[in-house]
Amino acid sequence: MTTTTLSPEIGRSSLTFVDSHHPDRLIEVNFYRPAGHGPDDPVVIVQHGMLRNGDEYRDFWIPAAEKHRILIAAPTFSDASFPGPESYNNGLVIQDGGSVRPVEKWLYGIPARVLAALQEGGVTRRAKAWLFGHSAGGQFAHRMLATQDHGSFEAVIAGNPGWYTLPTLERSFPEGLGGLGFDETSIARWFAYPMHIFAGDQDISTDDPNLPAQAEALRQGPHRYGRAQFVYDFARREAERLGLPFRWKLIRVEGVGHDGAAMSRAAAAYWFEGRIPPAEELITAEVGAL
């Protein structure tokens, strides 16, 4: 499979990525490449929220990028090319008529192909990237792990998703993994990956107009923080019932609400400094974008 070669310049830049499976839906990838970044230094792929603001999410990571020599790549799935949650959060898996698209058309394969394009461009020799998604991007991130090979990812954090796909074949996608052709082996593979759910303990609004409010989401709890606990408990019990290894972690980020900037700082510190900073270090005067 051919991919677009990506070779971002030093500093901020934006390059158009033409995915071979979606050549008519261009993806703008927002980069930050520190002057000190070498081909063996980390690559972090950042999945934006519902505002489709990859440039802002890229910027949230710049201080960490400079401190730890990280190449940041934040693909933007524009509303024009990928309208609505079905085309981003839910990965273009289900067509309008309800049928399932071919697996290669699912958007969840794109982050691995962005990494491959960076490898082809000679920017990185890393075999794996870190991936962080917040809000709608957190929905994207955990569904990516549920449906894709994990070989391209060093670690994955889903931050403050509005709701979750449950690790069960008994419910249809996106509430569960039913109807996609998966089996228990697929569930076992997902359980075995050390997926981290980052949940801001102040992300407890029940009247946020952007909070998913369909029946399937409401069954998971009244707010995002509660839904994180729900999916973790559901998954842990299911793994125990099936006798499967379970490596997920639920990380409570104290004092933080639905704040993409603060959660980005928390993820960066967790991965590259081995800590979750206190709320006063994470939160700035302005709440980060969705």
For strand 196-200 and strand 71-76, is the pairing parallel, antiparallel, or unpaired?
Answer: unpaired
Q: What pLDDT is recorded for position 2?
A: 40
Residue linked to tokens 């569930």: 187
Q: What pLDDT is recorded for position 4?
A: 75
Q: What pLDDT is recorded for position 286?
A: 52
Q: pLDDT (tens digit, 0 to 9) for every residue of the chain, 290 residues total? A: 445 799 999 999 999 999 999 999 999 999 999 999 999 999 999 999 999 999 999 999 999 999 999 999 999 999 999 999 999 999 999 998 899 999 999 999 999 999 999 999 999 999 999 999 999 999 999 999 999 999 999 999 999 999 999 999 999 999 999 999 999 999 999 999 999 999 999 999 999 999 999 999 999 999 999 999 999 999 999 999 999 999 999 999 999 999 999 999 999 999 999 999 999 999 974 555 67
Q: What pLDDT is recorded for position 290?
A: 74
Q: What pLDDT is recorded for position 1?
A: 40
